[in-house]
Every structure is written in C-alpha cells, then in structure tokens.
C-alpha cells in the first residue's frame, strides 16, 4: 500500500459524521505499517463521492431532468426512439458504477430506485401493451443477458 496515494472516507449524514469526528478526534487511520489520511472527497472509477453521498442526489436529479425533458417531446418520438433515449440518457447514469453503492442502506439508495419507477409510470405511449413501458422492458432485457 502506498500511503501517499491511499485515502479513506467515512460516509454518513452530516450529524453522524460530526459525532464520529468528535468521538475519534483524528483524521487518520493507522495500519500495521502506515498512516492513511482521511479525505472528504474521493474518486473511484471516475465517480466523485463525498462523505454525505451527494453523488446519489446529483445522479437522481440529472435522471429526473432528462425524464422531464423526454416527457415534453414524447408525442414527437416513436416508441423505439423514446426507449433508446431513456436507456441512453437515464438508465446509463443509473448503471454506471452502481457497484460502488452496494451494501448501502435502502433509505440511501431509495432516490435512485424511484427513477425506473417514474420511467415506468409514464410508459412511453404503450400503456395498453405493457404497464412498465418499453424503456424499462428494453433495459431489463439488455441487462439480463
């Protein structure tokens, strides 16, 4: 381990992080040979994470922005084009680096889980065929391979 290039981070709410800081009173972690410094922001696989997981709220905000924009033009799009746009603009953001969120409490990732539900609820012009909408079905089919 290279201590100059290694950092650690605590994740939690602002209140829990303040309590942790008061309890530990240190900003480093000592291993058997090295001292690792605590960071407030880390970057993993191109995703910047802060101690309060602002990344989750930012990703959710971006996804809902694209959903709102697609709702405005959905009558102009065919179902296939709309489904491809939802997958490329919305689901790609959800899928990228979702492994780094594994193990988080359900309450933390709940905002991200509302995105596919919202995509399914407006079901791009195919309510009679499939209540989940073509975008969700296309996304699930692509990921089940």
Taking residue 54's Cβ as centre, other Cβ atoms within 10 Å add up to 12
Q: What is the pLDDT of residues 111-143, one digit of tens each?
A: 888 888 888 776 544 444 444 455 555 555 555
Please give the angle made by the CA atoms of 82, 90 and 65, to the nearest 5 degrees. Answer: 95
**Cβ neighbours of residue 20 closer than 8 Å, sequence gap 6 or more:** 10, 12
Considering just the CA atoms, what is the radius of gyration of the chain in Å? 20
pTM of the model as a whole: 0.65
Query: Cα dihedral sign for 136, 60, 95, 10?
Result: negative
pLDDT digits over 81-107, tens only?
888 888 888 888 888 777 778 888 888
Strand partners, 42: 49
């Amino acid at each position: 381990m290279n201590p100059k290039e290694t950092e650690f981070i605590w994740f939690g709410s602002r209140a829990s992080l303040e309590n942790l800081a008061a309890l530990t009173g240190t900003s480093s972690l000592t291993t058997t040979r090295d001292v690792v410094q605590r960071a407030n922001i880390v970057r993993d696989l191109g995703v910047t994470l802060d101690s309060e997981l602002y990344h989750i709220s930012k990703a959710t905000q971006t996804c809902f922005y694209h959903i709102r924009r697609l709702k405005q033009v959905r009558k102009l799009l065919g179902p296939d084009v709309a489904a491809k746009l939802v997958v490329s603009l919305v689901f790609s953001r959800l899928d990228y680096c979702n492994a780094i969120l594994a193990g988080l409490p359900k309450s933390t990732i709940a905002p991200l889980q509302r995105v596919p539900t919202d995509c399914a609820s407006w079901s791009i012009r195919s309510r009679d065929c499939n209540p989940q909408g073509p975008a969700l079905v296309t996304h699930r089919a692509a990921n089940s391979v």
